[in-house]
């Protein structure tokens, strides 16, 4: 396991702040001699440091998928599988799959298919809770469309939540990408939407806990 580069500064700042708190905690203990309070505050500082570090963890995973497979782009829980009208790019009906990422999930995001990135756009917006029905269209978000070599296109979207306040992405238009390559990172709780062609074979269901680079979402038609 390694730490994502987006976490270096935040982890350092958290360490300095929590260290200062712990120094104050020590002096408080020498003044009050309340061992239980010292132990409680020390434990709280350790837990907070652990949570910050684990949020930016990147576990080592082997990504093995077939040519037409759609790989899960993020860790989390499947909260939506439905047919919707996609209004930003396709402007037609698509199958929407939404994955909610809690603060305890790995937050790196990966390309669900191989192909050429045809569309990249960042949208400023609100910070509704990530499971809100309008978060897909009203929240801060970034949208990507990748064209598979068979001509089919898949749209995927990073969506900020009530806690997530920064979307990071590295994908560029006309870039060739491979399934499982990292394209971005969302800091703290958030959501990923996939918009798939009608008729796509879906291998997951609502409520499933999924993992990036390991879970197969479905399969594109040849």
Q: List pLDDT tens digits, range 41-97.
A: 999 999 999 988 988 899 999 899 999 999 999 999 999 999 999 999 999 999 999
63 within a domain of the structure (yes/no): no
88 and 125 co-located in one domain:
yes
108 and 198 co-located in one domain:
yes
> Which of 58, 77, 104 corresponds to the end of one domain?
58
193 and 136 co-located in one domain:
yes
Judge whether residue 164 has pLDDT over 60. Answer: no
175-213 residue pLDDT tens:
999 999 999 998 766 889 999 999 999 999 999 999 999
95-144 residue pLDDT tens:
999 999 888 898 899 999 999 999 999 988 665 555 555 556 567 889 99
Judge whether residue 24 has pLDDT over 90. Answer: yes
pTM, full prediction: 0.85
- Count of structural domains, the chain: 2
| Catalytic-labelled residue, pool 135, 142, 190, 222 | 190
170 and 82 co-located in one domain:
yes
Give the C-alpha separation, 134 to 98, whole Å: 12
Give the C-alpha separation, 140 to 119, whole Å: 17
> Which of 58, 80, 106 corresponds to the end of one domain?
58
15 and 88 co-located in one domain:
no
196 and 131 co-located in one domain:
yes
96 and 185 co-located in one domain:
yes
Nearest in space to 168 (alpha carbons), one of 186, 181, 180: 186
Nearest in space to 183 (alpha carbons), one of 195, 170, 194, 172: 170
The band of 155, judged by pLDDT with boundaries at 50, 70 and 90, is: very high
122 and 204 co-located in one domain:
yes
> Which of 11, 34, 58 corresponds to the end of one domain?
58
Is residue 42 flagged as an active site residue?
A: no
Identify the domain containing residue 41 by its residue range.
Answer: 2-58
Q: What is the mean pLDDT of residues 17-21?
A: 94
């Amino acid at each position: 396991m390694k730490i994502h580069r987006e976490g270096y500064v935040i982890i350092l700042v958290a360490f300095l702040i929590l260290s200062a708190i712990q120094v104050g905690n020590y002096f408080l203990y020498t003044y009050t001699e309340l061992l239980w309070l010292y132990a409680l505050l020390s434990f709280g500082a350790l837990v907070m440091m652990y949570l910050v570090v684990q949020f930016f963890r990147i576990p080592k995973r082997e990504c093995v998928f077939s040519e037409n497979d759609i790989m899960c782009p993020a860790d989390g829980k499947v909260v939506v599988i439905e047919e919707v009208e996609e209004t930003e790019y396709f402007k037609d009906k698509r199958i929407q799959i939404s994955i909610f990422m809690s603060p305890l999930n790995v937050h790196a995001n990966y390309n669900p298919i191989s192909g050429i990135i045809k569309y990249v756009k960042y949208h400023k917006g609100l910070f509704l809770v990530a499971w809100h029905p309008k978060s897909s269209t009203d929240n801060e978000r970034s949208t990507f469309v990748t064209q598979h070599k068979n001509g089919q296109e898949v749209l995927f979207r990073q969506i900020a939540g009530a806690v997530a306040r920064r979307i990071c992405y590295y994908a560029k238009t006309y870039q060739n990408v491979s399934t499982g390559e990292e394209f971005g990172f969302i800091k703290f709780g958030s959501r990923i939407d996939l918009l798939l062609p009608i008729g796509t074979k879906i291998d997951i269901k609502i409520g499933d806990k999924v993992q990036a680079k390991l879970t197969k979402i479905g399969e594109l038609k040849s």
